[in-house]
Amino acid sequence: MTQALDATQAEASKRVRRLGAPTLLGFLVVVLLLSGFAVALRNSKGALEPGSEAPDFELQTFEGEVLRLASLRGQVVVLNFWASWCLPCAAEAPELEAVWRDYRDRGVTLVGIAYTDTRPAAAAYIDRFDISYPNGMDQADRISRRYRLKGVPETLVIDRDGRIVPLTLGEGPPVDRMVGPLGGDRALSPAALRSLLDRLLEPGA
């Protein structure tokens, strides 16, 4: 009986040894894949590089038109992420509309993107502030993911070559976007935004 048990245990040990190497290898592969995914995810959450090419996207506007960022090449673009439930967004909405009306005939396009919102609430927001520049819903958060959005409002300025304009806010290094409403601690004032647009519209800029 003891010999039979010993033989069974020996056979089991052989199976474990045979399976050990492939199992360990498989485990290491999974760990490496997960580590790579974690690094990619962490990198994807960082800011975009100031001066880099702005990620292209298509946006269906509330009027039913399809707007593609690449089609605006040659114009300065102010890209604003907002939501109807966002109080700071509401605070800056009138100023953004005023900028649009003053600069739309000079080669500047404002584009608004409604983030994690419902279509009725977003449409009501547009009506409330009499917003006339192109706006649309960020379907499945596709655009906000490409732009690594952290919250709303966030605003980027894109030059005529399709590159993200570096913004100097305070004493830190240039950044890729304004965070919070115009005039806030991490955003340009309305006057500073207008001054930036004037500079970007200069010949050869």
- Annotate 141-201 with DSSP letters as a single string: GHHHHHTT--SSSEEEEE-TTSBBPPB--TTS--BS-EESSTTSTTS--HHHHHHHHHHHT
Q: In terms of domains, do 108 and 169 share one?
A: yes
Q: In terms of domains, do 21 and 105 share one?
A: no
Q: Of 200, 190, 186, which is closest to residue 100 (Cα–Cα)? A: 190
pLDDT of residue 171: 85
pLDDT of residue 34: 35
Question: Does residue 103 sit within a domain?
Answer: yes
Supply the range of the domain harboring residue 134.
58-200
CA angle 111, 148, 131 (to 5 degrees): 20
Q: In terms of domains, do 11 and 92 share one?
A: no
Question: Does residue 38 sit within a domain?
Answer: yes
Q: In terms of domains, do 78 and 118 share one?
A: yes
Q: What is the DSSP letter of 113?
A: E
Q: In terms of domains, do 139 and 93 share one?
A: yes
Q: In terms of domains, do 155 and 184 share one?
A: yes
d(CA 26, CA 71): 47
Indicate which CATH number applies to the domain containing 118.
3.40.30.10
Q: Domain count of the chain? A: 2
Q: In terms of domains, do 153 and 64 share one?
A: yes
pTM of the entire structure?
0.78
Q: In terms of domains, do 21 and 76 share one?
A: no
Q: In terms of domains, do 63 and 30 share one?
A: no
Q: In terms of domains, do 179 and 156 share one?
A: yes
pLDDT tens digits, one per residue of 39-53: 333 334 578 999 999
Q: In terms of domains, do 104 and 158 share one?
A: yes
pLDDT of residue 170: 86
Q: In terms of domains, do 177 and 78 share one?
A: yes
- Blockwise average pLDDT, block size 10, the chain, 205 residues: 48 50 42 34 65 98 98 98 98 98 98 98 98 97 97 98 96 95 96 98 91
Question: Does residue 205 sit within a domain?
Answer: no
Question: Does residue 50 sit within a domain?
Answer: no
Q: Of 101, 130, 125, 103, which is closest to residue 113 (Cα–Cα)? A: 125
